[in-house]
A and B are shown apart, each in its own frame.
Chain A
Amino acid sequence: MSARKSDRGPKRDDGSWQLTEPHAGMAQGMVVSGYDHLPTGEALFLEFAWDRHQRGGAWLAALNAIAPVTPADGKVPRSVSLSLSWTGLARMGLDQRALASFPQAFREGMYQRDRMRRLGDTCDGQWSDCVIPTGPRWSGNTPQLPPEDPASVPPGQVDGTTPITVHAMLLLFTATDAEVAAWSAEVEQALVPQGVHVVHRRPIALHKGDDGIVREHFGFADGMSQPVPFDPDATVPAAAVPNGWNAVALGDVLLGHINGHHDIAAGPVVPIEPDGRTAAAGLPRHPRAGDAADFGLNGTFLAVRELLQDVPGFWTALTREAARLRTEDPHGGDVIDATWLGERVIGRCMAGDALRANGPLPRNDPATPDNEFGFYDDDQLGYGCPIGAHMRRGNPRDGLAQRPDQVRTLREAANRHRILRRGRKFGPPIADRMVDDGVERGLLFLAINTDIERQFEFIMQTWMMNPNFATLFDEADPLVGTATPMSLQAKPLRRKAHLENFVKLAGGDYFFLPSLPALKYLELL
């Protein structure tokens, strides 16, 4: 342990970062904070139940009176975050040119035919086993264009329309359960007269353990690995920690800043109108379009997926599979049990430490699992953290390098696809992980990124669902992928586990998380 301390000590990166003004006052708080001190809350999914002609931002004024959206400039006793789907923005009457200036992924939504296929949500035109059998319950219901080539669509292709339409997602974060109940009732009451209905809701909680660690429902410590954005003009610290494992350009997290590909992360624009709405909202002029204001600056996109977790299903299947692996391995299999296998599915042990061939990765700081590591040096072949483990597929770090001279390039390349994970749990923690209590629970997966295609979708398609990830063959992510074999690298010979899917998509879409000035502009519509 001490060896690690001395060789990595000076470069350590504790992962904390802040925005500087004016950006801190413009961006929404959830970009910079997971609200560790606000462990309870609720997600309200809103539909604008207006007639065809109604539009505008009056509802935002009403919301503002009781739940003003929180900026990123300090610690608050309770917090609000608001994001909108493309259909939500369209219903509010945002200008056509503005709507068209959003990136294609957001304009098309998560259920565009080709996207569903690439995300692994459909297979041969049918919902895959990563989705609840009835198909997702809610989305923005973005209108879809007919295919250019009808023959490219498999017969019986599901269309991505969901029973519930969500125009906006409101997240309330509070310190106690009682507080959130009262507050969300108040919010709902204020919105109903505006024709804005809560069509779906989920509690969002951290449920920290007694040890102060947040665990997702299966029981694994979660939220350890996050990218740390830097920008010479907008963050503290202003520069990446040299050789930091988690450094990303701020433009990968917030629009309007330089991104990992050395360009300004381009966001949407709104026309500058004579009525001075853009000026009143405080939207700056767009750097490229002379007659337009920058609607994106300090805003970003959220990939939202409501994922149901079948906890007893997961552990029962792992128990069965572990028993099978054990009988196949009469001489070395005693260590194999459900927990052992589950830890390999994730790539970290239950307490959160990355797996290595001879036990968990030693900690630098005794209080928290380490996140300053690669794979190339001490686990290239996956004898500790299997090559196809969820954590390794989610962020291969330098693990795809073949030679020492590629390590730096590959680490930097992997970091250009990172997402800031702000997901929270819904549903109560399970009492016994083997016993079905009939209660729905899961993860409201929220990923912040500015380039949906290069970040969220890339991770899903190229890493999570890629059957050939890292020279594996015909496997998928063992946690969120379809039923799959999983190679568990070992000496003398790899084991192969057969896993099913217990994490299913129940709803979701892409949302725009506007800056506060952009919200002001919407309010003035």
Chain B
Amino acid sequence: MRQTTSSIALEVKPDSEALLLSLIARLDRPDAATQPAMTKTDLLARMPSLHFFSLTVFPRGVFDPLFVIEANFDGPAGPFWPQLEAALGPQLRPMIACCKRPADGCGPLYDAVTAPGSRRDLAPYLQTRAGKPSVYHHGNRGMSRQRVVNEAALFSAVEAELDAAGQVAQTWRILPPADIHARLREKLLPQFAWLAQPAPARKTLGEKLGDWVRLAVLVLAVLVVLTLPGQIAAGLVETDRLVIAFVLLTAIVWGSLLRIAGPLEGTATHGRTNLLNFAWRQIFKILIALAVFFAVAMLVVTPTTVAISHLSWREAVIPSARALGWGIAAMVVIVLPALVLWLRWLERRDSTQDAPTIDEAVMRLMREREDHTPINHMAAMIPLKPGILRTVLVHVGHRGLHLALRVFIKDGYLASMRTIHFAHWAFVNNGARMMFLSNYDLSWETYFDDFIEKAHEGLTLAFGSGEGFPPTRLLIQDGASHGTLFKAWARHSMTVSRYWLAAYTDITSDQIERNFRIAAGLRQPTLTPESAAQWIVDL
């Protein structure tokens, strides 16, 4: 089952911020006189596809306050907004009235839904204002809410069977795994009839193909752009001059790069991964990708050559191959290193914030709300570093990260961690800031320590474009490895999750997968001794 992550970011009328906050607070503590009490259970029943929902107000700073509605649910967005309206419409409407009238064509719709006493459907407004995340990650991709809940119930029933005292317990201990499986299945089938049905696929072939195609298109587009300088030069300049220019530029770019690639004083963290050795480890994939690119690009470049040069198809092949060859060579040896040089030049001038202001009251409020259950919510807002290179990098990078997560993360593990249920990034305020919202397992401290220690390169890549980030080097080095600095920076970018609705709060992402494996085994009428031995480890 496909899942959707969506968020709506609305600028708040500054004078209505306090009202908005009190309206949100009232969701958790309804005033019995004015509102019928609506428990979280009621709400969840009215939104049967919802996994996690949050309301956050990012405080004013350089911008006016920003009200963010986050929703993670099963299926497409279309049917969800009416569900949300049915559950929370009367409460959301006055909140939306606290936000500014949009300046684009949505103004009249805003007027209609926020007019005093309005009964116009909210859903269309929500739908038009909903943003598309730049990156999202679903740790238990394809697990619908109903399935998560059903399989958790199955897990409890399995445990209860196994731990029943006396004679029953004795029998479990003498059976081989395959028989334990068969007996459990027999006992549980009446209560869990769905065990007899085949498991719905978590990802359809179409989804998988779609992800691959999108990734391929992105990679192709990036390669086209990066090989253009070399191709154009090859078209304009004779080979001997081209060689001279190539050698000269290579010397200049690499000379400068080597001169400034090292860490600034006191910022080195001696990590094991850098761009070069990372590329080296992927060398075969890179070579194959380049070969494929060459082949595909020839199909485009040759006709183009024919069209602009009056050469015949046969004659056009060699000059086309020459242009492409130079394009690729220049990309690898000059263009990419030049971009890295540009980036490094910027990095050396970045301002890093050593002591971000942390409002202790806000911090206390966050802590008061954290760690009541194994699953927590966080919301962060990050202003982006300026400049064209940074802007292009962060947008292309997010697209690439998004597709790479979709294609390559098969078991929910990011590096060695599986602590995220639903997380997403989205650009807001016309791309001046990005927000990050996550529904994750364990405490905030752990969640971040884990990433710092186990995936600091990825963290640096994903957040390094944020203002004030600890000193980074060549895109993925240092940065988040400065754990103490990074955590202070991350805390300071966060704000209180004012309202959080979760369909389940104690089934960790890891446990969902464990329940999934147990259920998958029990759906099989029989298991071979080998697969039963494997399966039983999870009980």
If A328-B170, A467-B374 touch, whether A410 touches B454 (CB-CB below 8 Å) is yes
Are the CB atoms of B454 and A147 closer together than 8 Å?
no
Write the chain A residue with the least CB distance to B155.
A473
Q: Which residues of A402-425 have CB atoms within 8 Å of chain B's CB atoms? A: 402-403, 406, 409-410, 412-413, 416-417
Asked whether B173 is an interface residue with its Cβ less than 8 Å from the other chain, the reply is yes
Asked whether B367 is an interface residue with its Cβ less than 8 Å from the other chain, the reply is yes
Write the chain B residue with the least CB distance to A495.
B173
> How close is B488's CB to chain A, nearest CB, in angstroms?
10
Bound state CA distance, A333 and B169, in angstroms?
12
If A328-B173, A409-B416, A458-B449 touch, whether A468 touches B441 (CB-CB below 8 Å) is yes
Asked whether B315 is an interface residue with its Cβ less than 8 Å from the other chain, the reply is no
Q: Which of A90-98, A260-268, A344-352 contacts B (4 or more CB under 8 A)?
A: A260-268
If A328-B169, A492-B177 touch, whether A148 touches B483 (CB-CB below 8 Å) is no
Asked whether A493 is an interface residue with its Cβ less than 8 Å from the other chain, the reply is yes
0/1 interface trace, chain B 526-539, chain A, CB 8 Å (1 if under) = 00000001001101
Are the CB atoms of B443 and A461 closer together than 8 Å?
yes
Q: Which residues of A91-122 have CB atoms within 8 Å of chain B's CB atoms? A: 104, 113-114, 117-118
Q: How many A-B residue pairs have CB under 8 A?
A: 140
If A149-B368, A263-B485, A461-B371 touch, whether A494 touches B449 (CB-CB below 8 Å) is no
Bound state CA distance, A413 and B413, in angstroms?
16
Q: Which residues of A contact B187 (CB under 8 A)?
A: none
0/1 interface trace, chain B 478-512, chain A, CB 8 Å (1 if under) = 10011111100000000000000000001010110
0/1 interface trace, chain B 458-483, chain A, CB 8 Å (1 if under) = 00000000000000000000100111
Are the CB atoms of B453 and A118 closer together than 8 Å?
no
Chain A: interface secondary structure? loop
Number of interface residues of A (CB under 8 A): 58
Are the CB atoms of B450 and A413 closer together than 8 Å?
yes
Asked whether A385 is an interface residue with its Cβ less than 8 Å from the other chain, the reply is no
Are the CB atoms of B354 and A288 closer together than 8 Å?
yes
> How close is A45's CB to chain B, nearest CB, in angstroms?
29
Asked whether A52 is an interface residue with its Cβ less than 8 Å from the other chain, the reply is no
Bound state CA distance, A413 and B454, in angstroms?
7
Bound state CA distance, A496 and B533, in angstroms?
18
Are the CB atoms of A262 and B481 closer together than 8 Å?
yes
Q: Which residues of B135-192 have CB atoms within 8 Å of chain A's CB atoms? A: 155, 159, 162-163, 165-166, 169-170, 172-177, 180
Which of the residues B172, B365, B482 comes within 8 Å of A149, measured between beta carbons?
A: B365
Bound state CA distance, A261 and B480, in angstroms?
9
If A331-B173, A468-B374, A471-B514 touch, whether A261 touches B162 (CB-CB below 8 Å) is no
Write the chain A residue with the least CB distance to B175.
A492
Write the chain A residue with the least CB distance to B510.
A471
Bound state CA distance, A402 and B454, in angstroms?
13
0/1 interface trace, chain B 34-48, chain A, CB 8 Å (1 if under) = 000000000000000
Bound state CA distance, A259 and B469, in angstroms?
19
Number of interface residues of B (CB under 8 A): 60
Q: Which residues of B contact A461 (CB under 8 A)?
A: 371, 443, 445-446
> How close is B505's CB to chain A, nearest CB, in angstroms?
12
Residue from B180, B416, B450 having most chain A Cβ neighbours under 10 A: B416
Are the CB atoms of A492 and B443 closer together than 8 Å?
no
Are the CB atoms of B374 and A381 closer together than 8 Å?
no
If A263-B482, A410-B416, A458-B445 touch, whether A496 touches B170 (CB-CB below 8 Å) is no
If A261-B452, A493-B180 touch, whether A147 touches B368 (CB-CB below 8 Å) is yes
Asked whether B92 is an interface residue with its Cβ less than 8 Å from the other chain, the reply is no
Which of the residues B159, B177, B484, B508 comes within 8 Å of A259, measured between beta carbons?
A: B484
Are the CB atoms of B482 and A413 closer together than 8 Å?
no
Asked whether A370 is an interface residue with its Cβ less than 8 Å from the other chain, the reply is no
Are the CB atoms of B368 and A492 closer together than 8 Å?
no
Q: Which residues of A contact B175 (CB under 8 A)?
A: 492
Are the CB atoms of B416 and A406 closer together than 8 Å?
yes
Q: Which residues of A contact B374 (CB under 8 A)?
A: 466-468
0/1 interface trace, chain A 409-448, chain B, CB 8 Å (1 if under) = 1101100110000000000000000000000000000000
Asked whether B269 is an interface residue with its Cβ less than 8 Å from the other chain, the reply is yes
Q: Which residues of A contact B510 (CB under 8 A)?
A: 468, 471
Write the chain B residue with the least CB distance to A259.
B484
Asked whether B369 is an interface residue with its Cβ less than 8 Å from the other chain, the reply is yes
Q: Which residues of A357-384 have CB atoms within 8 Å of chain B's CB atoms? A: 381
Are the CB atoms of A493 and B536 closer together than 8 Å?
yes
Asked whether B442 is an interface residue with its Cβ less than 8 Å from the other chain, the reply is yes
If A262-B483, A402-B413, A493-B180 touch, whether A118 touches B454 (CB-CB below 8 Å) is no
Q: Which residues of B contact A467 (CB under 8 A)?
A: 374, 506
Are the CB atoms of B416 and A151 closer together than 8 Å?
no
Bound state CA distance, A113 and B367, in angstroms?
10
Asked whether B29 is an interface residue with its Cβ less than 8 Å from the other chain, the reply is yes
Bound state CA distance, A381 and B360, in angstroms?
43
Are the CB atoms of A458 and B446 closer together than 8 Å?
yes
Residue from A328, A485, A494 having most chain B Cβ neighbours under 10 A: A328
Bound state CA distance, A502 and B309, in angstroms?
88
Asked whether A453 is an interface residue with its Cβ less than 8 Å from the other chain, the reply is yes
If A492-B180, A493-B173, A496-B163 touch, whether A412 touches B453 (CB-CB below 8 Å) is yes
Residue from A118, A262, A288 having most chain B Cβ neighbours under 10 A: A262
Q: Which residues of B contact A201 (CB under 8 A)?
A: none
Are the CB atoms of B162 and A148 closer together than 8 Å?
no
Are the CB atoms of A330 and B170 closer together than 8 Å?
yes
Asked whether A225 is an interface residue with its Cβ less than 8 Å from the other chain, the reply is no
Asked whether B28 is an interface residue with its Cβ less than 8 Å from the other chain, the reply is yes
Bound state CA distance, A467 and B510, in angstroms?
12
Write the chain A residue with the least CB distance to B29.
A151
Are the CB atoms of B511 and A454 closer together than 8 Å?
no
Are the CB atoms of B511 and A260 closer together than 8 Å?
no
If A400-B416, A402-B416, A492-B175 touch, whether A117 touches B371 (CB-CB below 8 Å) is yes
If A261-B483, A329-B170, A492-B177 touch, whether A409 touches B449 (CB-CB below 8 Å) is no
Are the CB atoms of A409 and B173 closer together than 8 Å?
no
Could you give 6 example pairs across A and B, Cβ below 8 Å?
A: A118-B371, A263-B484, A333-B173, A462-B442, A471-B511, A492-B176
Counting from the closest, the 5 A-B pairs by CB-CB distance are: A261-B483, A413-B453, A328-B169, A263-B484, A152-B368
**Which positions in A face B, CB cutoff 8 Å?**
104, 113-114, 117-118, 145, 147-149, 151-153, 259-263, 265-266, 288, 324, 327-333, 381, 400-403, 406, 409-410, 412-413, 416-417, 451, 453-454, 457-458, 461-462, 466-468, 471, 473, 485, 489, 492-494, 496
Known: A288-B354, A468-B442. 18 other contacts (CB 8 A): A104-B360, A114-B364, A148-B364, A149-B368, A151-B28, A262-B483, A263-B482, A266-B484, A324-B165, A328-B166, A328-B170, A330-B173, A381-B537, A410-B454, A471-B511, A471-B514, A489-B537, A493-B177
